[in-house]
Structure 1
């Protein structure tokens, strides 16, 4: 994948997804020690996450005849909802497979979009195997959340909007599940803002890219223990790994509890209801997993909507 793919995706999906706002995180009760922090609110995207970009781009690149038997996907939640919406736009059925740790709110949203929902497997990788088998059985088209050039290109359009709206940032903080979002954004950022620091954030219970980068090759995790289904993946794709290896400064790890605390911080400070993946950039700053240098402009991506920030536990 290259920058032209992202630029073409931006033109293709214009008018089919929202251009989400940027907000400066200031006037805070509990500051994070960052002088110039901006948040990209993809939690306000149609379907509630950035995933609508990739799914819509993939839909718009396909001839209608390949979709006549519907669309199948496996997801921790957000990609599934985006795929269900794409199927609705195409007027075809969607079957979405979720692991057992998927949030009930994501299942409810999927059903609201008219998807056929199946829960199977303990983690995304197992749901993925079930979904691929079902797609083959039906003759349906499979929407992979990250091992798909057009879906990754669609996710990269987030970065183009950030740079167009607030100019280049010094640091970009990006949540990682399978890696499609950070790969797409990094492709765009390196073209437009080559000196930027791009940092990925994973849960300690799903260090997929972290461990692959350390090993110098794609590895399969022996176990995925995070409770955050939208950030859980046992193995990334080789093409994603190559982009991240060449373009991302590093990937840091945070505990699930830090993601929960960050979601509460977003709700308290800014009234933003984020899912736990959407709170990852704040968690990295709160825990000190990422050190920000004086004067650096930082962009954090609130990549998904949820109710975790409002629970106050």
Structure 2
């Protein structure tokens, strides 16, 4: 699907369209979340509030301008929709975003403020995505897949390049998983640059898409998705993406929604970082002991999505 050259090409293409986000040493914890040295990659500071800005920008800039002029369409649990809405605004073209019923209201409001039209319906990403595909058939708008488009995956992979540039001694990278595009893109870059690196994904107990597929050895369609985290609720990953994912991801662990909420509160309390549940997922997995680390191990956890300060 993609390789290191594709990720490097994406980095050159999106330079100036997204932010190179800081890597924050997570020192002075009141209650440290893991052994070793933890560093937070602050993707919550992207213009649209998440790493999704990278993939959307890469897709936008690599597409035929005539296709872009027809408008953009996407399905999203929230963060991808924000990124596509922001991309459409850069080219002054319309965007239509299909969203599940449990999408956060403040993210819908932000999409509309970026100028996008929003359509809410369906219990999860997959049902919203069916609406997006129907819209494409009807209008011919340019479809931005949330996680399975090679250009999207390569764009997300640029996070991996930055992590390695800033922290070449990194040993373990822990990444939240929705459909699998972010972790796969980042892992492609990181494993190519440092094959010994450990890549661990984090999924909700109520949406174990990659966990189940890796265990089975093939893509699994979940019978149901019960997680209340819309940005991580995906019933099925993509076949082509999974063929690559299983080569570069070492492990996927499962955590409860409540652990992510608690980690989001800790990020706010300790660092003044307003993260959504997906943005706190990597730290939650470390804090709950779902991932073991040793003393002096160098660990990176992207804070991949912004949210409101917790109450």
Which interval holds the TM-score relative to the shorter structure?
A: over 0.9
- Say if 1:262 and 1:282, in contact at 8 Å, map to a contact too: yes
Q: CA deviation at 1:136?
A: 1.3
Superposition deviation, residue 32 in structure 1: 1.5
What is the rounded CA distance, in whole Å, between the counterparts of 2:19 and 2:251 in structure 1? 30
Residues 64-213 of structure 1: pairs in structure 2 closer than 5 A: 64-213=65-214
Give me the whole-angstrom Cα distance separating, in 2, the residues matched to 1:34 and 1:72. 43
In the TM superposition, residue 242 of structure 1 has moved relative to its aligned partner by: 1.5
TM-superposed CA distance for 1:119, in Å, is 0.1
CA distance in 1, matches of 2:169, 2:220: 33
Deviations 1:50-92 (A, max 9, x none): 0000000000111111122211100000000100111111221
Q: SS of 1:46's equivalent? A: coil
Q: Partners in 1 of 2:306 and 2:169 — Cα distance? A: 25
The 2-side partners of 1:244 and 1:139 are apart by 30
| Match in the other structure for 1:18 | 19
For 1:192 and 1:84, how far apart are their aligned partners in 2? 32
2 CA distance for matches of 1:234 and 1:249?
A: 21
Counterpart secondary structure, 1:233: coil
1:45 corresponds in structure 2 to: 46
Secondary structure of the residue aligned to 1:210 is helix
Gapped regions of structure 2 (runs ≥ 5): none
TM-score (norm 2): 0.98
How far the C-alpha of 1:168 sits from its partner, in A, is 3.4
SS at match of 1:136: helix
Q: Does 1:241 align with 2:236?
A: no
Give me the whole-angstrom Cα distance separating, in 2, the residues matched to 1:7 and 1:67.
23
Question: How much is the aligned-residue C-alpha RMSD, in angstroms?
Answer: 0.8
Deviation per CA, 1:191-232: give whole Å up to 9, x if none.
111101100000000000000001110010000010000001
Tell me how far 1:34 sits from its aligned partner: 2.5
Q: Quick check: 1:99–1:123 contact (8 Å CA) kept in 2? A: yes
Deviation at 1:295, TM superposition (A): 1.8
> Once structures 1 and 2 are overlaid, which stretch shifts more, 185-194 or 27-36?
27-36
Q: Structure 1 CA distance, aligned partners of 2:243 and 2:140?
A: 31
CA distance in 1, matches of 2:4, 2:176: 21
Could you tell me how far 1:18 is from its partner in structure 2? 0.5
Structure 2 distance, partners of 1:195, 1:151, is 25
TM-score under structure 1 length normalisation: 0.98
Q: Secondary structure at the match of 1:278?
A: coil
| 1:51-70 equivalent positions in 2, closer than 5 A | 51-70=52-71
1:283: Cα distance to partner?
0.6
Runs of 4+ aligned structure 1 residues displaced above 4 Å come to none
- Whether contact under 8 Å (1:168, 1:193) holds in the other structure is no
Task: After superposing the two structures, state which structure 1 stretch, 60-69 or 186-195, moved more.
Answer: 60-69
Given that 1:71 and 1:135 are in contact with CA atoms closer than 8 Å, whether structure 2 keeps it comes out as no
Deviation sequence 1:233-257 (CA, Å, 0-9, x none):
0000012212221111110000000
CA distance in 1, matches of 2:55, 2:169: 23
Separation of aligned partners in 2, 1:13 and 1:33: 34
The answer to whether 1:311 aligns with 2:310 is: yes
The equivalent residue for 1:284 is 285
User: In 1, Cα distance between the equivalents of 2:189 and 2:86?
Assistant: 25
Work out the CA distance in 2 between the residues paired with 1:240 and 1:62.
20
